[in-house]
Every structure is written in structure tokens, then in C-alpha cells.
């Protein structure tokens, strides 16, 4: 069953945004239908990372329109960058983790300029042995023998 703004329990993270995820505009004239189970997962995720719906926030305001910062929901998850690979949405090493999770140590590649000749040679040998740096092909001899 779909939530509506009249029936949603904004204190329930799985419902907080569920009503806003009905018929989401953007793909074609009819919008996108998000299944209720997915809407609940997305809604809970948004609440865990600190998002809240503005009309719900307005209910927290006092007579002067002020909201005590201690009354705001606390962010419980953060986006952890990947320890290696590109920083984009397609890298599965990027993940949402509890706020107190330490960031992983980043993989730092050595600078060839800081290596000795022997170290650079050893790295090249490793790349060649692994097939990452193939041997150059012999050039084709186009000269004709008369």
C-alpha cells in the first residue's frame, strides 16, 4: 500500500519520504512508479544520512519559528569513499557506513621519480610479467628484395 501525506508517519524512517516517492517525475510524462518496498528502503536511507522533509521540520518549530538544533534528527550514516579505484557511483567499494566507522587507508602509488633505477626496472619487469606491459611488436619490414 502506498503512503500518502495524510497517512504517513514522519517519525518512521521507512515512511518519512515514502509519500514523496510516488510517481516521481522525470522519465516520461507519467513519472516513475517506485514500488512501496523500494520507497521504504530509500526513505530509511535518506533519514539515516540526515535528510528530513521540510514540512515535518516546521512541526518542530516553536512559536517564534525557531527549532532547537538538538531536536533535529541525527545523521547515523556517512558515505565512505573507496580505498582504491575511481570515486564515482559505479565503484562498489564506495559505501554507506555508520558515522563512527574509520575511513580506510587509501592506496598510494609510489612516484617513479622517487624510485631508484633498479626499483623502476623491477616495476617494469613486474608489469611485463603480468602482461600489463606487452613487449613491442617487431615492425613489419616493407622493403622488397629485388
CB 6 within 8 A of CB 18: no
Confidence (pLDDT) at 1? 61
pTM of the model: 0.70
Confidence (pLDDT) at 33? 84
Confidence (pLDDT) at 103? 92
Widest CA span of the chain, in angstroms? 102
Distance, in Å, from the CA atom of 95 to the CA atom of 82, rounded to the nearest integer, reads 8
Confidence (pLDDT) at 96? 93
Q: What are the backbone dihedrals phi and psi of residue 54, each rounded to the nearest 5 degrees, phi first?
A: -55, -45
Distance, in Å, from the CA atom of 79 to the CA atom of 94, rounded to the nearest integer, reads 7
Q: Record the cell numbers describing residue 96, joined without a space.
A: 554507506
| Residue 47: other Cβ atoms inside 10 A | 23
Distance, in Å, from the CA atom of 67 to the CA atom of 118, rounded to the nearest integer, reads 64
Closest residue by Cα to residue 77 from 44, 38, 108, 29:
44
Confidence (pLDDT) at 122? 96
Confidence (pLDDT) at 78? 95
Distance, in Å, from the CA atom of 89 to the CA atom of 52, rounded to the nearest integer, reads 23
Confidence (pLDDT) at 37? 94
Per-residue pLDDT of the chain (146 residues; tens, 9 = 90+): 667 778 888 889 999 999 888 888 887 788 888 899 999 999 999 999 999 888 888 888 999 999 999 988 899 999 998 888 888 888 888 999 999 999 998 888 899 999 999 999 999 999 999 999 887 888 888 877 76
DSSP run (H or E) holding 26:
strand 24-26
Q: Record the cell numbers describing residue 34, joined without a space.
A: 517506485
Amino acid at each position: 500500500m502506498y503512503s500518502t501525506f495524510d497517512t504517513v508517519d514522519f517519525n518512521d524512517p521507512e515512511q518519512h519520504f515514502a509519500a514523496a516517492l510516488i510517481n516521481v517525475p522525470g522519465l516520461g510524462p507519467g513519472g516513475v512508479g517506485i514500488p512501496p518496498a523500494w520507497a521504504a528502503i530509500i526513505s530509511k536511507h535518506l533519514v539515516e544520512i540526515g535528510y528530513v522533509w521540510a514540512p515535518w521540520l516546521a512541526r518542530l518549530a516553536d512559536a517564534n519559528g525557531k527549532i532547537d538544533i538538538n531536536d533535529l534528527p541525527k545523521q547515523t550514516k556517512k558515505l565512505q569513499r573507496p580505498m582504491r579505484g575511481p570515486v564515482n557511483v559505479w565503484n562498489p567499494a564506495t559505501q554507506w557506513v555508520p558515522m563512527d566507522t574509520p575511513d580506510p587507508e587509501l592506496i598510494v602509488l609510489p612516484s617513479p621519480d622517487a624510485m631508484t633505477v633498479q626499483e623502476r626496472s623491477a616495476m617494469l619487469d613486474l608489469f611485463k610479467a603480468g602482461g600489463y606491459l606487452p613487449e613491442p611488436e617487431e615492425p613489419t619490414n616493407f622493403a622488397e628484395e629485388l
